[in-house]
Structure 1
Amino acid sequence: MDWAESCSAPSELCTEKLAASAREHLERAQRDVGGTLWPRRAHGVDSALAHIHAAHVLVLRMVSLEDLHGMLPDLLMLIEENLPSEDRRRLSVERIFRTSEGGRLTQSQRQTVIDAVREAYRAQQREIVRERSFSQLVWCWAVGLLCVAVTIAIVTAIDRTLLPICFGPTPNVRSAALVVQPPLRPIVVCPLGEGRFAENGNLDQSFEAAASWGDYVVVEAVGFLAAAVTAAATLHQLRGSPTASNVPLALACLKLPAGALTAVLGLLLMRGDFVPGLTSLDSSAQIIGWAVIFGAAQHLFTKVVDARGREVMEPGPQPAVTPEAPPAKQKPLYGRT
């Protein structure tokens, strides 16, 4: 800004007003960055970025036409990065860059370049805001799912008989258990222990007797670890420009509580005879093994969010949408219409 103010031509442009306005934008940007507290920090950064871009546009109005011609390659890269190839402003600047000779532009060409730069900055700000909004949404969902998982673990630890995550014998074995001696009763297995089948044949009472306060905690922890492994394995697929929003980290953190919940929900579905042939597990190791599988299977539910994250991180200039041509009139097949 100091350089532009010292090198401008006062006789050609009203540099004093432009310089005052540009310095005001810079002061506002400094206040937005330094005076915004943490909950609204992102909004302050967005506002500061808009003021910095406005100050840069004013600098382009202040510099001489020769200096603007020297800046043209850098400005053209900014325009090509943020505007689609079919944009008229981008095409005009590319034409100016090819046809400008002698190192000097006209005032009308200056205005064309400034308009294109302003629109490129607007497109850049929209992409940054979109990426930050997506990252904040993913973080909110990750925190919400984590709270749900912690709540389930606490409630089931306090009341272990609320919904035991245990498995017992098949219905045929249950009926046969009533006619055998007590030492030969089938076993009911849970993630952290096991117990004998109830003498009266009540499966719910058998589950409540064998359940432990840490069953859900262990299952969620195993699902959490399985989701962490799958998240680490899928991070290499997320490619994009590095930004302050850190979308890959938000997506990885979303998988962790999702894995804990899918492990619990998958075992509950098996306990409710939802999966034919997998309603009776024989040991605690099998329960933990299926918790690992269901925890890793969270990728089936979060892959849609991953795809959206890749799209957000690799936006690129979107091509202009051209109106479709009206359909041609078809000739009647038989005679007149």
Structure 2
Amino acid sequence: MVENVTVGWQVGADVTDWQLTVESRARRVRADLAALPAAEATEVARKAAEVSLEVVDAALRSADNKWWRSGASWWSGWHIERAWRALHEAEIYLAAADPDLPAKLPGLRARVRMYLDETDPRRQAMEQPEPDKAMVIDAMRAAFDASDDSHAAARALRNKLIVISLALFVLNTVLGLIGIFKPGVVPMCMPPNLALQQALCPTGSATPSGWDVWMVQLFGALGATISVVLLLIRRRPDLSPYVLVGYQALVKILLGAALSAVGLLALGAGLVSGIVYVGSQAALLLWAVLFGYAQQVGTRLLDNYADRLMDEVRPLPERVAGPKR
């Protein structure tokens, strides 16, 4: 979703969801700064907040120039993380300059609870009836640092998923090309046995074909796609700048294609002889689908880790009042 807004009340930009969130919070900080009474004691914090907001605007402007943004910038995510870190610094300086900070403690406590454990001394100090302002600022900084570190962790996981996807794509492509130019080198056919009078190949013929490997990979990807549908159904919406679900789905599909080929190699080698019966092309392709879906056993660990990481990057409303899980 793209929406036309004005960044920092000065610069027009088409922003994505995460940019809209940062820009909206930056506007609120500016409004709160403008409402603060003039006082020498808060002037330093006010100026520091304004400098941080300028950094936010600069990062958002650089993120909008998609034609200019280099691949290294996208890979490192510097504009995203710089915008969030600068916004958090501005919110901290705003709290330091706000004379009505005690009235806002309930909301600040809720934000700190999102990221700091109950045993953290900074959270415990902030939970006191009348905490010192320095303690409040220290707890806010620790909570925001944890949030920013979660953004970096999400980016690192995204990059790893991309590398894994490229490796699996190359592997599947190489296997498919070998199958085309050297049919039978990657044996996908079931040899004759007591149940089969002749060899049975994925394409339905009795001799290896150049499309056997591709056929198996296709049906393995089909099985993996079923697990992707389940992933999309249970995945909760979020406004994280790093959306991992697409990369998770890609890894599942490519891994399912590879595992289907490995599974049929195991069937052809007789490793499960007497346990698995394959008497027709339909049964052979069905096993390819099942082997493709079987990648869910391993990638479920990845899904659970990604879910926990996304909860840190994008806290949900029900986590606001409760302890960190």
Normalised TM-score (structure 1): 0.73
Spell out the pairing of 1:66-215 with structure 2 (5 A cutoff): 67-96=100-129, 99=130, 109-170=132-193, 186-195=197-206, 210-215=207-212
CA contact (8 A) 1:168 1:281 kept: no
Aligned residues: 279
After superposition, give the CA deviation of every residue in 1:170-194 in whole Å (9 maximum; x if it has no partner). Answer: 3x899xxxxxxxxxxx422211132
Q: Match for 2:111: what amino acid? A: L
Pick from 93, 96, 113: which aligns with 1:58?
93
Tell me, in whole angstroms, the C-alpha distance in 1 between the residues paired with 2:187 and 2:276.
Answer: 14
Tell me, in whole angstroms, the C-alpha distance in 1 between the residues paired with 2:38 and 2:111.
Answer: 26
Q: 1:52 to 1:233 in 2, by over 3 A?
A: closer
After superposition, give the CA deviation of every residue in 1:110-130 in whole Å (9 maximum; x if it has no partner). Answer: 222111111111111122222
Pick from 26, 36, 46: which aligns with 2:81?
46
2:287 paired with 1:252? no
Tell me, in whole angstroms, the C-alpha distance in 1 between the residues paired with 2:86 and 2:139.
Answer: 17
Shift of 1:68: 1.7
Q: Percent identity?
A: 22
Tell me, in whole angstroms, the C-alpha distance in 1 between the residues paired with 2:153 and 2:58.
Answer: 23
Tell me, in whole angstroms, the C-alpha distance in 2 between the residues paired with 1:22 and 1:54.
Answer: 7
SS at match of 1:193: coil
Q: 1:118 to 1:277 in 2, by over 3 A?
A: same
CA contact (8 A) 2:113 2:324 kept: no
Tell me, in whole angstroms, the C-alpha distance in 2 between the residues paired with 1:173 and 1:85.
Answer: 64
Instruction: Compare 216-225 and 298-307 and name the one that shifted more.
Output: 298-307
After superposition, give the CA deviation of every residue in 1:92-117 in whole Å (9 maximum; x if it has no partner). Answer: 22213xx5xxxxxxxx8222211111
Partner of 2:301: 304
Tell me, in whole angstroms, the C-alpha distance in 2 between the residues paired with 1:270 and 1:298.
Answer: 17
Shift of 1:82: 1.6
Instruction: Compare 230-239 and 118-127 and name the one that shifted more.
Output: 230-239
CA contact (8 A) 1:33 1:44 kept: yes
Shift of 1:298: 1.4
After superposition, give the CA deviation of every residue in 1:3-26 in whole Å (9 maximum; x if it has no partner). Answer: 425523324x151x4333322222
SS at match of 1:277: coil
CA contact (8 A) 1:239 1:310 kept: no
Tell me, in whole angstroms, the C-alpha distance in 1 between the residues paired with 2:272 and 2:287.
Answer: 12
Q: 1:73 to 1:160 in 2, by over 3 A?
A: same
Instruction: Compare 36-45 and 273-282 and name the one that shifted more.
Output: 273-282
CA contact (8 A) 1:138 1:250 kept: yes
Partner of 1:9: 38
After superposition, give the CA deviation of every residue in 1:249-295 in whole Å (9 maximum; x if it has no partner). Answer: 33222210111111100001111222223688443222212211211
Normalised TM-score (structure 2): 0.75
SS at match of 2:106: helix
Tell me, in whole angstroms, the C-alpha distance in 2 between the residues paired with 1:46 and 1:257.
Answer: 30
After superposition, give the CA deviation of every residue in 1:209-231 in whole Å (9 maximum; x if it has no partner). Answer: x1111111111111101110122
Instruction: Compare 214-223 and 141-150 and name the one that shifted more.
Output: 141-150
Q: Match for 2:155: what amino acid? A: R
Q: 1:56 to 1:187 in 2, by over 3 A?
A: same
SS at match of 2:188: coil
SS at match of 2:125: helix
CA contact (8 A) 1:187 1:194 kept: no
- The CA RMSD over aligned residues, in Å, is 2.8
2:320 paired with 1:285? no
Partner of 1:331: none
Q: Match for 1:35: what amino acid? A: S
CA contact (8 A) 1:5 1:19 kept: no
Shift of 1:78: 1.0
CA contact (8 A) 2:256 2:294 kept: yes
Instruction: Compare 46-55 and 301-310 and name the one that shifted more.
Output: 301-310
